Structure 1
Amino acid sequence: MDLGLKSKLAVITGGSVGIGLAVAEGFAAEGANVLLTARGRARVEAEAARIAKQFGVRALGVAADVATAAGCDAVIAAAQGMGGADILINNAGTGSNETIAEADDAKWQYYWDLHVMAAVRLGRGLVPQMKAHGGGAIIHNASICAVQPLWYEPIYNTTKAALMMFSKTLANEVVGENIRVNTINPGLILTPDWIKTAKQIAGEDGWEAHLQGVANEAGGMKRFATPEELANFFVFLCSDKASYSTGSTYFVDGGWLKTV
């Protein structure tokens, strides 16, 4: 199936590892060019070089902290230098661990900048590039926690919920420009962070059993998805085959969500 992505430029934040890297590889496999961003220069540049060689596409790694205005400006400029963005995947983010009573203002502000303001700034900067190309697609990687919160990360829950609403609002604003904006709310995805945490909790011999326990508690399919499984949905949703989809939120959670 031709997804109509050849030679498009996809910008992926948090693109050097986990979900972001899998999404970048998914686009490259379809012939799209990719711009990966991450804070670590060595890793993001190495992964971009590998993708370019492996898939025969243009790939650029940009070291930038998208939780800052300067970092977002660097990404916007880099995309313009590659001819302008057609696709934006706002993926950069991380979990939190706190109580509302204990978390200080600085922690709330950091997560707001990372999960919400990065999307605002990059949307503001890359939408004009998409307009110049006649349209585009934006996906915000939020979380099932945006609607089904976990007790130990109230800041993550709140900022991801805000990201979901921003996505809907942006979709309404640019629908007339042939730019489609959607949100994906993943469930349990087997990223390196999950594995690292599980090993810290249960050790080298017990981490897999620990994660299976997490999956069993979640219910549904009772397993973690691979980053590649999730990436397939991102790629499809940005393709010509999803041309009538905008302003929506999709749960890719193996049946974890407890509501309709």
Structure 2
Amino acid sequence: MDLGLKGKTAVVTGGSVGIGLAVAEGLAAEGVDVILAARGRERVEAEAERIARTHGVRAEGVACDVATLAGTTELAARAEAFGGADILVNNAGTGSNETVMEAPDEKWQAYWDLHVMAAVRLARGIVPQMRRRGGGVILHNASICAVQPLWYEPIYNVTKSALMSFSKSLSTEVVKDNIRVNCVNPGLVLTPDWIKTARQLTAETGGDWQGYLDEVAREHAPIGRFASPEEAASFFVFLCSDRASYSVGSTYFVDGGMLKTL
């Protein structure tokens, strides 16, 4: 299926690994020029170079921390210099591991800046570019934990809920500019972040992180397994296209049946 994306430009945060990298790769396969943002310069630049070589598109890796005002300002400026963005995928994020009673204010603030303020600041920086280009698409990668929290990561749960709410608020503000905003709540996707969390949770009980992940999949997902990043990315790519032209302000669950509510 031709999604009609060839020649567009996308900005993907958290773009050097996991779902973000898979989304960038999926868009590039459709002929989209991509700007990958991540904190690690060597990796993000290498992945951008590989994507450009593999798919014959323009690709740039930008090393920046989108949890900071300086980082989002730099990324928006680099997108402007690239010619402007048609697509923004706010994917940067990470899991947490704490209790409400013990987590310090600083940890709450750090996750708020990463999961929420990064999206707010990038909207302010990139929406004007989309307006000049006649419209665009903004996607927010939240999590099933935004509505079905896991017990060990309250900060992640809360900030992802806020991101989902921000997505809805932004969608009503910019739809008049032909900018469609939606949110995706993935379930179990086998990313390095999941492996990191599993290692932490099993560190004192033998370190069988793979067994822990298998148990998580059996317990939570009726499909009985984790998704690959590429499976999740395919849905993001579809939402970026005009095939999803009537999708505005919605949240979509890509979770293998994990969500327990209607």
Whether TM exceeds 0.5 here: the answer is: yes
Give 1:124-135 correspondences, 5 Å limit: 124-135=124-135
Aligned residue for 1:79, secondary structure, equals helix
Aligned residue for 1:250, secondary structure, equals strand
In 2, distance between residues paired with 1:205 and 1:104? 27
TM-score normalised over the length of structure 1: 0.97
Corresponding residue pairs, total = 260
CA gap 1:199/1:97 in 2 versus in 1, 3 angstroms: closer
Match of 2:254 in 1: 252
CA gap 1:198/1:106 in 2 versus in 1, 3 angstroms: closer
Q: Give structure 1 stretches of 5+ with no counterpart.
A: none
Regions of 4+ moved over 6 Å: 202-205
TM-score normalised over the length of structure 2: 0.96
In 2, distance between residues paired with 1:55 and 1:124? 30
Alpha-carbon contact 2:94-2:193 (below 8 Å) kept: no
Give 1:58-97 correspondences, 5 Å limit: 58-97=58-97
Give 1:139-158 correspondences, 5 Å limit: 139-158=139-158
Equivalent position to 2:212, from 210, 213, 226: 210
In 1, distance between residues paired with 2:108 and 2:81? 34
The Cα offsets for residues 186-224 of structure 1, whole Å up to 9 and x where unpaired, read as: 000011222344456389994433321110010311110
Fraction of identical pairs, as percent: 72
Aligned residue for 2:131, secondary structure, equals helix
Equivalent position to 2:242, from 240, 243, 249: 240
In 2, distance between residues paired with 1:219 and 1:14? 25
Alpha-carbon contact 2:221-2:255 (below 8 Å) kept: no
In 1, distance between residues paired with 2:181 and 2:206? 41
Match of 2:233 in 1: 231
In 1, distance between residues paired with 2:43 and 2:66? 16
Q: Give structure 2 stretches of 5+ with no counterpart.
A: none
Match for 1:176: what amino acid? K
Give 1:1-260 correspondences, 5 Å limit: 1-198=1-198, 201=202, 206-260=208-262
Aligned residue for 2:103, secondary structure, equals coil
Alpha-carbon contact 2:97-2:197 (below 8 Å) kept: no
Match for 1:251: what amino acid? F
Aligned residue for 1:160, secondary structure, equals helix
Aligned residue for 1:134, secondary structure, equals coil
The Cα offsets for residues 158-203 of structure 1, whole Å up to 9 and x where unpaired, read as: 1000000000000000111100000000000011222344456389
